[in-house]
Chains A and B, each alone.
Chain A
Amino acid sequence: MTNPKDLTATSCIKLIKSKEVTATEITNIYLDRSQRVNSQINSLITICTEHALEQAKMIDENLDDHMEKPLLGVPISVKDVISTSNILTTAGSNILSNYIPPYDATVVKKLKDAGAIIISKANCDEFAMGSSNENSFFKCCRNPWDTEKVPGGSSGGSAASVAASQSLLSIGSDTGGSIRQPASLCGVVGLKPTYGAVSRIGLIAFGSSYDQIGPFAKNVEDCELLYNVIKGYDPKDLTSKKQIPDFNFEKSRNLKDLKIAICEDLINENINQNVKSVFDNTVSKISELGATIEKINIPYIGESLPVYYLTAPSEASSNLNRFDGIKYGISDQSGSSSWDTINLTRSNFGDEVKRRILLGTFALSSGYYDDYYDKAQKIRGLIIESFNKVFSNYDIVISPTSPTTAFQIGSLTNDPILMYQNDICTMPANIAGIPAISIPCGMSEGLPVGLQLMGPNFSEPFLLMASKIIEEKLSWNNGVKISI
């Protein structure tokens, strides 16, 4: 019997190709584990048993026709903000708790074409707003390393489902760190691609100039495999890049010629000392690989939090206007007019979503627009210029992914500003649109710590190569595994 904990996507594909197992057998193993573990960690909102077995059967019946598919028979979870045809898609919200999309997101189509088996829809913060998964209408997902702790957010269910081997891969979305931060807290790999590298069609919008869909995996090799499937131009998405430029780099497998910058501005008093010491240890291991590492300051990057929390909620306040109880989603028709329907239905948003709609509405409102929204957009431009200058001198910028390891459920829910600071290291990449990856780099008190690597636009192949070399060097968990 195949142990779901021992497989990777790459090894799973080999087993199916060599006909040692069938796609249906693999699917059943992961469906079974998804069910069992879900009662402990609540990482999944929907387990797609019928759909998954149907997809697996199609592969098994014509295996020879499917042999070349890059994700042949690999079970994957998809964050519940991403539309799946005829499968409940809630965005973690009461408002969409009955919503069945009539179409697949472009990434979901690509996954199916690549032979992946969509086995579940993963829990997340409501409309992807949060850093702990506690804002989900479907209750908080728990961290599989310690079920009293949060898995991070907003793609907490995606990260937890991969960490807990309920699926081999997952798809999440990252607006301010929502892939990388939970990847860090759950000890898996998560990539936020360059803005425009992956189609956003079918992603329920939060902050449209920030949102990117990206992969979760157990290791960098699997992450690359999944990224290569989902990337690419989509004529339906005006912001997807028509041609992803080739990023030129030496594919020599060492880091000797690399110039790596440590962004000092991100390593301030907010970074927990244990995280800092794991990070420092990681830096010295990277320097053993021969890379040149220098500490630098990046002008304006210290303003990322206000820039992000003024502009992203502004976009959200506009995007979430569509939830009105009239076209789709739940509807409160107890009032006497359509205006009542709209107002009463929207009362069903959760607290954090309401807070961000209000904050964004304020930043865009007459009399405040220039001082808040427009000011923040200009500083966003200054941050982009800062990064451009940095990448003319350095190949990669590194930092811890998250200032802390997984924290206690409930410990930050009453303090929005403290909660927002969880994204302090991840927001700059969204602000600049650049790609960034989190890989596990060590443990602190039994919980994983993540290393973030940021690169220039469309440098994903290079970032992944560098991440693979660093991953090999680190042996981050010293063999310690999740017990559940």
Chain B
Amino acid sequence: MSGKEKQFNILHISELAKLNLSSEEENLFGKQISEIISHFSSLQRIDTSTFESKYWEIQDNKIHPVEYLRDDKVQDSFSKEQVFQNAPSKENGFLKIKKILDR
């Protein structure tokens, strides 16, 4: 584990996050997040080997999906106009986007 926090790679992570960063931002965020991560390294000292369950399994308010499923009935929904009312670009009832192939 030791030294791993130093490996925060701003270029790789910003690509995964789909964020175009300026070189200024790369420097600033790269430095700040490395500091934050090393500040958080205290967690690694805590023994969690005995903790088997996931945190939500011990909460009182467990999620029981089956209990929540509604009957499969046709219901009113938004109109097409409402669904598209905020779309930046649309044509003939479809979202219009720029090409996605030939990246």
B86 at the interface (CB under 8 A from A): yes
Q: Point out the residue from A306, A341, A343, A347 that lies within 8 Å of B40, measured CB to CB.
A: A306
Cβ distance B98 to chain A, nearest Cβ, rounded Å: 5
Pick from A241, A307, A358: contact of B43, CB under 8 Å: A307
Is the beta-carbon distance between A306 and B39 smaller than 8 angstroms?
yes
Which residues from chain A contact B60 at a C-beta distance below 8 Å?
457-458
Could you tell me if B18 and A457 are in contact, using CB atoms closer than 8 angstroms?
no
A262 to B87, CA, bound (A): 51
Bound-state Cα–Cα, A258 to B12, Å: 53
Chain A residues, CB < 8 A from B55:
377-378, 380-381, 384
A416 to chain B, nearest CB (A): 6
- Flag whether B83 is at the interface (Cβ < 8 A): yes
Q: Is the CB of A99 within 8 A of B58?
A: no
Question: Which residues of chain B are near A328, meaning CB under 8 Å?
Answer: 86-88
Provide the residues of chain A in CB contact with B97, threshold 8 Å: 326, 338, 341
| B92 contacts A by Cβ under 8 Å | no
CB pair A194–B87 under 8 Å, yes or no, is no
Q: Verify if A361 is at the interface (C-beta below 8 Å from B).
A: yes
A37 at interface by CB-CB < 8 Å: no
A339 & B100 in contact (Cβ 8 Å cutoff): yes
Known: A362-B8, A382-B51. A242 touches B36 (CB 8 A): no
The reply on A49 being an interface residue by CB < 8 A is no
Q: In the bound complex, do residue B33 and residue A359 qualify as a contact, i.e. CB atoms below 8 Å apart?
A: yes
Residues of B33-60 at the interface with A, using a CB-CB cut-off of 8 Å, are 33, 35-37, 39-40, 42-44, 46, 48, 51, 53-56, 58-60
Binds B, one of A349-357, A437-445, A467-475: A349-357
Q: Are the C-beta atoms of A361 and B16 separated by less than 8 Å?
A: yes
- Please state if A379 and B46 are interface contacts (CB–CB under 8 Å): yes
Beta-carbon contacts of B74-103 to A below 8 Å, as 1s and 0s?
000010001101111100000101111011
The listed residue (B40, B53, B61, B83) touching A241 by CB distance below 8 A is B61
Which of B16, B39, B53, B61 touches A365 (beta carbons < 8 Å)? B16
User: A320 CB to closest chain B CB, in angstroms?
Assistant: 9
Closest to A197 in B: B61
What sequence of 0s and 1s flags, for each residue 283-297 of chain A, a beta carbon within 8 Å of any chain B beta carbon? 000000000000000
Separation of A99 and B88 alpha carbons in the complex (Å): 10
A98 and B99 CA atoms in complex are apart in Å by: 24
Contact, CB under 8 Å: A300 / B44: no
A429 CA / B43 CA spacing, docked (Å): 19
Known contacts A339-B100, A344-B20, A346-B19, then 10 further A-B pairs from the complex at CB < 8 Å, ordered by chain A residue: A317-B17, A321-B18, A329-B88, A342-B18, A355-B33, A375-B43, A375-B48, A376-B43, A379-B43, A457-B60
A sample of 22 inter-chain contacts (CB < 8 A) reads A195-B59, A242-B68, A303-B43, A307-B43, A321-B18, A324-B18, A329-B86, A337-B98, A337-B100, A347-B20, A358-B13, A358-B33, A361-B16, A362-B8, A365-B13, A375-B48, A378-B51, A379-B48, A381-B58, A384-B55, A416-B36, A433-B61
